Chains A and B, each alone.
Chain A
Amino acid sequence: MGEAIVITSGKGGVGKTTTTANIGAGLAQAGQRVALIDADIGLRNLDVVMGLENRIVYDLVDVVEGFAKLKHALIKDKRFENLYLLPAAQTRDKTAVSPDQMRDLVGEMKQEFDFVLIDCPAGIEQGFKNAVAGSDKAVVVATPEVSSVRDADRIIGLLEAEEKHHPSLIVNRIRPSMVKKGDMMDIDDMIEILAIDLLGVVPDDEFIVVSTNRGEPAVLNPASRAGEAYRNITRRLMGENVPMMKLDDEGQGFIGRLRKMMGLKG
């Protein structure tokens, strides 16, 4: 019996889909059997981030409506044979599926997979309720900005009301040079305000854009800082105790520039 984890945030555009793709690929690379569900019906995206958009035949709504079998709708990843994606329907909306249907579907998938990751849409309405319904655990993604933290707090409140999901936090797009200047909230600030466990910290990394362009999750690139952060998160989800990554502003801040000028590294 596997574990279902919903990746959620409240606010849009903070990195839910990026996080789902990277954790999914990371877990698969570590040998786990993984299924990803794109629960963002009407705004499907996980397929392109994973580079699987050309293989879609059936989608989540087809399965729920009994029009296609789950095993026919699941798309096998091209890199890992133990990684699958169930894409969202693009021409329907969030009301095409109910929380009960999602609960049944995720329950069925947990029989087959070690991890079922659910990419939640932004907002707190039906799409959120659907995505959360079948999940055992929640991962809340937030960026170090007032609006994102506020929405994360709202989501955490909703999740804690159900006393079921044990939400933990991923801080995404942190910029060490700004933190150093005092112009960006740091991890401690966010943990103190939101009062939940920290699952990981992902730096703002240009390579995320490159990897999205290519449809290859950054976690698979050994040189990417964000990829390294996602590898750590993956290991923590598998139960390992991995220390938080040290975030220094490599080459960006004054010290970094000075180091560069003097030809020093790291």
Chain B
Amino acid sequence: MFDLFARVFGRDDASKEVAKERLRLVLVHDRASLSPQALENLKNDLVKVISQYLDIDDQGFQVDFSRHDDAMALVANIPIRRKAATNRNSL
């Protein structure tokens, strides 16, 4: 009976959705041949380089892969502290 119920109303705990979500994540890393550890290293290096030019908030710093349709992108979100702007004004 539950079967019929599930079919009519749809199930949001359907295990295939879990499978798809897990696959997406694991494939993003596989395809970039970048392990989560390597991604962490990349992030630390980015922080180092960018802070030579800008005063950034490395707590709010986020780097991750994202998918746009077929293509993959590395998306970084880098909050800049106010001070950077002041620096430029004083130039």
Contacts and interface: CB of A to CB of B under 8 A. Distances in A.
A185 B4 contact: no
Given A150-B26, A193-B24, A185 B31 contact: no
Interface in A147-181: 149-150, 153-154, 157, 179-181
Contacts of B7: 180-181, 254
A193 B69 CA distance: 10
A184 B3 contact: no
B16 A184 contact: yes
B19 A185 contact: yes
Interface residues of A, number: 20
Q: For the complex, would chain B's binding face be called helix, strand, loop or mixed by DSSP majority? A: helix
Interface string B40-55: 0000000000000000
A150 B27 contact: yes
Given A146-B22, A185-B20, 18 more contacts: A145-B19, A150-B23, A150-B27, A153-B30, A154-B30, A157-B30, A181-B6, A181-B11, A182-B6, A182-B10, A182-B11, A182-B14, A182-B17, A186-B16, A189-B16, A189-B20, A193-B27, A253-B3
Interface of A: 145-146, 149-150, 153-154, 157, 179-186, 189, 193, 195, 253-254
Interface of B: 3-4, 6-7, 10-11, 14-17, 19-20, 22-24, 26-27, 30-31, 70
